[in-house]
């Protein structure tokens, strides 16, 4: 895909596929028999859908970063380099009935679950065209199965357990999923929620998104033990995936979601990836000081989108087709951003009523009750 100096991480600007890493990508896809069989069920539309989803997420992030550079918004939390984790997970679900709780790095879950990009951009601009009428930068929409997060990391784990338990009690074949950052795994609520999910055999999927850092704290500064033993410690099914390989993530989450839907209970799937920028746009330089430059170089060669392009090329999906998808997705994202910015002036709630117009007036998430199968 196109690369943009000053917007992309420097390692991505002149990105070229490294033959050894492309081979490794394919070997990962073929290594495990059960996963290979699942991946073989993906037709061209599904394979290209994963590509389009990752490109959509990346271009959405480009837009936010440009807005920050122009002073339109003050900062943005990006998922650059981690797109495969979110897009692979969401595409492994039944998007018309399952529920997800995205965290900071999972904004792509909103558009991949079906929320409109224009609504999302209204959300970043804080206008009343956004999902929560400009009251809070965290947003979701249960019409599309996306829970609105709250700021405290880790707390969506018991919430997702509760939702999954409700599905189980109602005998609905539905799954609830959330991502847990490596840092968030150190919060108490995560442990309560995981244990409860195991005890209840809740149809939940927990994806530990290990991007090796929590804000400015590296993994080895907040963890001594090995994530590998966690599922067994809770009595959960486990799984590990290469977080920069969208097909491996897809297959690992699909296995976990199928198991949950069939009554096999919850899974803890760990995906290994790397945060290619700062915690947000304001601390990119500090993030680079936090890690050895070699880590950015080596993970930078593993751009999940670039590697997948090379893989698809080997499957006969040529560069022209991928470029056409990129052009279409880019046009969609850019026009959504433009419509949201044009409407900004008239849709910004007046200061004296902004709070009241939203939360204080009891604005409820549209569709909450219907999505969860209750009457309003």
Ligand X SMILES: Cc1ncc(C[n+]2csc(CCOP(=O)(O)OP(=O)(O)O)c2C)c(N)n1
Which parts of this chain interact with Mg ion (CB under 5 A)? 181-183, 211, 214
**Closest distance to ligand X from the beta carbon of 215 (Å):** 4
Instruction: List the one residue from 3, 152, 170, 297 that touches ligand X (CB under 6 A).
Output: 152
Q: Kindly state whether residue 52 participates in binding ligand X, applying the rule CB under 6 A.
A: no
DSSP state of 283: G
Phi, psi angles (nearest 5°) of residue 237? -70, 150
The 21-50 site mask, x for binding ligand X (CB under 6 A), equals ------------------------------
Q: Are 265 and 175 in contact (CB under 8 A)?
A: no
**Closest distance to ligand X from the beta carbon of 278 (Å):** 10
| DSSP string of 63-85, one letter each residue | HHHHHHHTTSSS-----TT-HHH
The 188-217 site mask, x for binding ligand X (CB under 6 A), equals -----------------------x-xxx--
DSSP state of 152: S
Restricted to residues 215-244, the positions that interact with ligand X (CB under 6 A) are 215
**Closest distance to Mg ion from the beta carbon of 106 (Å):** 12
Q: What does the CA dihedral 319, 323, 329, 331 come to, rounded to 10 degrees? A: 180
| DSSP string of 5-55, one letter each residue | TTTS-HHHHT----HHHHHHHHHHHHHSHHHHHHHTT--HHHHHHHHHHHH
By a kind-dependent CB cut-off of 5 to 8 A, residue 105 interacts, out of ligand X, Mg ion, none, with ligand X
Please count the residues of this chain forming the interface with ligand X, following the rule CB under 6 A.
17
Q: Kindly state whether residue 165 participates in binding ligand X, applying the rule CB under 6 A.
A: no
Instruction: List the one residue from 38, 184, 197, 307 that touches ligand X (CB under 6 A).
Output: 184
**Closest distance to ligand X from the beta carbon of 9 (Å):** 15
Helix/strand/coil for 269: strand
Phi, psi angles (nearest 5°) of residue 208? -80, 115
Residue nearer to ligand X on the CB measure, 200 or 280? 280
Select the span of 28-36, 89-97, 183-191, 340-348 touching ligand X (CB under 6 A). Answer: 183-191
Binding site for ligand X (CB under 6 A): 104-105, 151-154, 181-184, 187, 211, 213-215, 275, 279
């Amino acid at each position: 895909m196109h690369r943009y100096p000053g917007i992309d991480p420097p390692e991505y600007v002149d990105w070229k596929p490294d033959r050894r890493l492309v081979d490794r990508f394919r070997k990962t896809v073929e290594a495990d028999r059960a996963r290979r069989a699942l991946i073989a069920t993906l037709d061209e539309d599904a394979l290209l859908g994963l590509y389009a989803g990752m490109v959509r997420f990346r271009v959405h992030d480009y837009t936010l970063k440009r807005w920050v550079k122009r002073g339109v918004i003050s900062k943005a939390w990006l998922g650059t380099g981690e797109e495969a984790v979110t897009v692979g997970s969401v595409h492994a679900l039944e998007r018309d009935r399952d529920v997800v709780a995205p965290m900071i790095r999972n904004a792509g879950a909103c558009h991949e679950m079906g929320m409109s990009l224009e609504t999302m951009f209204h959300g970043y601009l804080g206008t009343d065209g956004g999902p929560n009428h400009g009251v809070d930068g965290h947003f979701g929409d249960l019409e599309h199965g996306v829970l609105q997060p709250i700021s405290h990391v880790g707390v969506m784990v018991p919430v997702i357990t509760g939702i999954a338990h409700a599905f189980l009690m109602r005998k609905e074949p539905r799954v609830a999923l959330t991502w847990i950052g490596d840092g968030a795994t150190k919060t108490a609520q995560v442990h309560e929620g995981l244990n409860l999910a195991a005890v209840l055999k809740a149809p939940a999927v927990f994806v530990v998104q290990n991007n090796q850092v929590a804000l400015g704290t590296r993994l080895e500064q907040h963890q001594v033990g090995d994530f590998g033993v966690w599922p067994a410690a809770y009595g959960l099914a486990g799984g590990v995936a290469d977080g920069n390989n969208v097909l491996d993530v897809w297959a690992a989450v699909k296995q976990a979601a199928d198991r949950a839907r069939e009554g096999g209970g919850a899974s803890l799937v760990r995906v290994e990836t790397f945060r290619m920028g700062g915690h947000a746009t304001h601390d990119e330089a500090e993030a680079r000081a936090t890690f050895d430059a070699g880590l950015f170089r080596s993970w930078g060669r593993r751009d999940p989108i670039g590697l997948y392009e090379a893989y698809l090329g080997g499957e006969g999906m040529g560069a022209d087709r991928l470029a056409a998808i990129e052009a279409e997705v880019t046009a969609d994202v850019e026009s959504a951003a433009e419509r949201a910015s044009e409407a900004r002036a008239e849709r910004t709630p007046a200061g004296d009523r902004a709070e009241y117009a939203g939360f204080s007036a009891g604005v409820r998430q549209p569709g909450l009750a219907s999505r969860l199968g209750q009457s309003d």
